[in-house]
Chains A and B, each alone.
Chain A
Amino acid sequence: MKHLKWLRRLVALTVFCATALLFLSDGLLASGLAKILTWPQFAPSLLAFCNQPQLTALAWLAVIILTIFFGRIYCSALCPLGIAQDGATRLFGPKKRRFIPAIPRWHYGIMTLTIVTFIVGHGLILRLLEPFSAFGRILNQIARPVALALRWLAAKILEYFEMYLIAPPSWPPWALSSFAIASFTLVLVAWLAARHGRLYCNSICPFGALFGICAKRAVFAPRIDAAICTGCRQCEAICKADCINARERTVDRSRCVACYNCLSVCKEGALRLRPGQTKGQTVLSAPMPGGKIKRKKPSAARPGKPETARRALLASLGATMACFFLSKRGQAAPDTPIQVPHPEKPTTIPERRAHPVSPPGSIGIAHFTDYCTACQLCVAVCPSRVLSPSLFEFGVDSMMQPRMDFGGGYCAFECVNCLEVCPVTAILPLSLAEKKLIQIGVARFIKENCVVHTEGTACGACSEHCPTKAVDMVAYPHPTKSNLKIPEIKADFCLGCGACEHACPTRPYRAIVVDGNPIHKKAKKPDFKPVAAPSDIDAFPF
Chain B
Amino acid sequence: MDRRAFLKTACSSVAAVSALNFATSAAPLLAASPLDMAAVRGGEPDVMFDKAMSAFGGMGQFVRKGDKVLIKPNIGWDVEPERGGDTNPKLVGRIVAHCLQAGAKEVTVFDHTCDPWRHCYQRSGIERAVKDAGGKIVSGDSEGYYQKIAVPGGKRLRETAAHELFLEADRIINVPVLKHHGSSQLSIGMKNLMGAVWDRGYWHRNDLHQCIADFMSFKAPTLTVVDAYLVMRQNGPRGVSKDDVALMKSLIVARDFVAADAAAAKLFGVDPATIPHIQMAAEMGLGKIDLTGLNIDRIKV
Contacts and interface: CB of A to CB of B under 8 A. Distances in A.
- Whether A associates with B in a native complex is yes
A383 interface: yes
A539 B298 CA distance: 9
Contacts of B9: none
A532 B41 CA distance: 18
A383 B243 CA distance: 28
B138 A465 contact: no
A338 to B, nearest CB: 30
A466 B182 CA distance: 10
Interface stretch (A40-48, A112-120, A167-175, A388-396): A167-175
Interface stretch (A89-97, A124-132, A232-240, A453-461): A453-461
Contact of A528 (B141, B204, B208, B235): B235
B296 interface: yes
Contact of B143 (A170, A530, A533): A170
B247 A414 contact: no
Interface in B176-222: 181-185, 200-210
Given A463-B183, A464-B183, A412 B266 contact: no
B142 A167 contact: yes
A41 B204 CA distance: 47
A459 B108 contact: no
A538 B42 contact: yes
B118 interface: yes
A277 B42 CA distance: 87
Contacts of A195: none
Interface stretch (A182-190, A328-336, A467-475): A467-475
B53 interface: no
Main secondary structure of the interface of B (DSSP, over half): mixed
A164 B139 contact: yes
A485 interface: yes
A463 B204 CA distance: 12
B263 interface: yes
B144 A168 contact: yes
Interface string A442-459: 000000000100010111
Given A168-B142, A414-B78, A458 B243 contact: no
Given A168-B142, A458-B183, A534 B116 contact: no
A300 interface: no
A528 B244 contact: yes
B76 to A, nearest CB: 9
Given A168-B142, A412-B115, A530-B243, A537 B249 contact: yes
Contacts of A526: 240-241
B41 A540 contact: yes
A505 B205 contact: yes
Contact of A384 (B116, B136, B233, B249): B116
Main secondary structure of the interface of A (DSSP, over half): loop
Residue with the highest number of chain B CB atoms closer than 10 Å, among A152, A162, A473, A506: A162
Interface in A483-542: 483, 485, 503, 505-507, 526, 528-534, 537-542
Residue with the highest number of chain A CB atoms closer than 10 Å, among B115, B117, B185, B291: B115
A533 B247 contact: yes
A466 B240 CA distance: 9
A437 interface: no
B245 interface: yes
Contacts of B296: 542
Contacts, number: 145
A169 B145 CA distance: 10
A146 interface: no
Contacts of B42: 537-538
B45 interface: no
A56 B247 CA distance: 48
Given A383-B116, A415-B119, A458-B209, A464 B182 contact: yes
A505 B204 contact: yes
A507 B298 CA distance: 47
B205 A415 contact: no
A156 interface: yes
A473 B238 CA distance: 13
A413 interface: yes
Nearest to B301: A538
A88 interface: no
B17 interface: no
A531 B234 contact: yes
Nearest to A382: B116
A155 interface: yes
A461 to B, nearest CB: 5
Interface in B251-301: 262-263, 266-267, 269, 274, 276, 291, 296, 298, 300
Given A469-B235, A537-B42, A459 B208 contact: yes
Residue with the highest number of chain B CB atoms closer than 10 Å, among A455, A467, A472, A529: A467
Contact of B263 (A164, A170, A458, A542): A542
B142 A169 contact: yes
Given A168-B144, A412-B119, A469-B235, 5 more contacts: A168-B142, A170-B141, A463-B182, A526-B240, A542-B267
26 contacts: A159-B145, A164-B165, A167-B117, A168-B139, A168-B143, A168-B144, A170-B141, A457-B206, A458-B207, A459-B205, A461-B200, A463-B182, A464-B183, A465-B114, A467-B240, A505-B202, A507-B205, A528-B234, A528-B240, A528-B241, A531-B245, A533-B247, A537-B41, A538-B41, A539-B41, A540-B41
State the 6 A-B residue pairs at the shortest beta-carbon distance, nearest first. A167-B139, A460-B183, A505-B201, A530-B243, A168-B144, A505-B204
